[in-house]
Structure 1
Amino acid sequence: MVTKAYGAYAGDKPLEPIDIERRQPGPNDVQIEIAYCGVCHSDLHQVRSEWGGTIYPCVPGHEIVGHVSAVGSEVTKFKVGDTVGVGCMVDSCQRCISCDDGEEQYCEHGFTGTYNFPTQDAPGHTLGGYSQRIVVRDRFVLKVSHPAEQLAAVAPLLCAGITTYSPLRHWNVGPGKKVGIVGIGGLGHMGIKLAHAMGAHTVAFTTSESKREDAKALGAEGVIVTRNPEEMEAHAGSFDFILNTVAASHDLDAYTRLLKRNGTMTLVGVPEHPHPTPDFSSLIFKRRSIAGSLIGGIAETQEMLDFCAEKGIVADIEMIPVQKIDEAYERMQKSDVRYRFVIDSASLAA
Structure 2
Amino acid sequence: MSSAMSQTLSGQVRTVRGYAALERNGPITTWEFEQREPRPEDVVFDVLFCGVCHSDLHTIGAWGQEFPLVPGHEMVGRVTAVGDQVTNVRPGDIVAVSTIIDSCGECEPCRRQMEVYCEAGPTMTYDGIDRVDGSRTRGGYADSLVAHQRFVFRVPESLDLAGAAPLLCAGITTWSPLRHWRIGPASTIGVVGIGGLGHLGVKFAHALGAHVVAFTTSPRKRDTILALGADEVVVTTDREQVAAQAGRLDFILDTVSTTYPMGPIVDTLSLDGTLCSLGIPDRFDLHPGTLAGKRRSIASSATGGTRDIHEMLEFCAQHDITADVEIISPDQINEALERLSRNDVRYRFVIDMTQR
The DSSP-based 3-state class of the residue aligned with 1:166 is helix
Contact 1:7 1:60 in 2 (8 A): yes
Letter of the structure 2 residue corresponding to residue 147 of structure 1: S
Match of 1:188?
Answer: 198
Match of 1:129?
Answer: 140
Letter of the structure 2 residue corresponding to residue 270 of structure 1: I
1:93 aligns with 2:104: yes
How do residues 144-293 of structure 1 correspond to structure 2 at under 5 angstroms? 144-147=155-158, 150-271=160-281, 273-276=282-285, 278-293=286-301
The DSSP-based 3-state class of the residue aligned with 2:91 is coil
The DSSP-based 3-state class of the residue aligned with 1:347 is coil
Match of 2:341?
Answer: 333
Indicate how the Cα distance of structure 1 residues 123 and 44 shifts in structure 2: closer, same or farther if over 3 A, else same: farther
**What CA distance in whole angstroms lies between the structure 2 residues aligned with 1:13 and 1:254?**
38
Deviations 1:32-59, CA, capped at 9 Å, x for gaps: 1111000001111111x223x4311100
Letter of the structure 2 residue corresponding to residue 50 of structure 1: A
Match of 1:4?
Answer: 17
Contact 1:315 1:339 in 2 (8 A): yes
Match of 1:318?
Answer: 326
Match of 2:38?
Answer: 25
TM-score (norm 2): 0.93
The DSSP-based 3-state class of the residue aligned with 2:224 is helix
Contact 2:36 2:135 in 1 (8 A): no
1:105 aligns with 2:113: no
Structure 2 residues not aligned, in runs of 5+: 1-13
Letter of the structure 1 residue corresponding to residue 58 of structure 2: H
The alignment's C-alpha RMSD in Å is 1.4
Instruction: Tell me whether 20-29 or 237-246 shows the greater mean CA deviation.
Output: 20-29
Q: Among 76, 82, 91, which residue is 2:93 paired with?
A: 82
The DSSP-based 3-state class of the residue aligned with 2:62 is coil
The DSSP-based 3-state class of the residue aligned with 1:332 is helix
Match of 1:41?
Answer: 54
The DSSP-based 3-state class of the residue aligned with 1:262 is strand
The DSSP-based 3-state class of the residue aligned with 1:50 is helix
Structure 1 residues not aligned, in runs of 5+: none
Contact 1:153 1:316 in 2 (8 A): yes
Match of 2:306?
Answer: 298
The DSSP-based 3-state class of the residue aligned with 1:18 is strand
Deviations 1:144-164, CA, capped at 9 Å, x for gaps: 10436x101100000000000
**What CA distance in whole angstroms lies between the structure 1 residues aligned with 2:302 and 2:141?**
23
**What CA distance in whole angstroms lies between the structure 1 residues aligned with 2:134 and 2:187?**
49
Indicate how the Cα distance of structure 1 residues 188 and 213 shifts in structure 2: closer, same or farther if over 3 A, else same: same
Match of 2:62?
Answer: 50
Contact 1:23 1:121 in 2 (8 A): no
Q: Give identity over the alignment, percent.
A: 47
Indicate how the Cα distance of structure 1 residues 282 and 12 shifts in structure 2: closer, same or farther if over 3 A, else same: closer
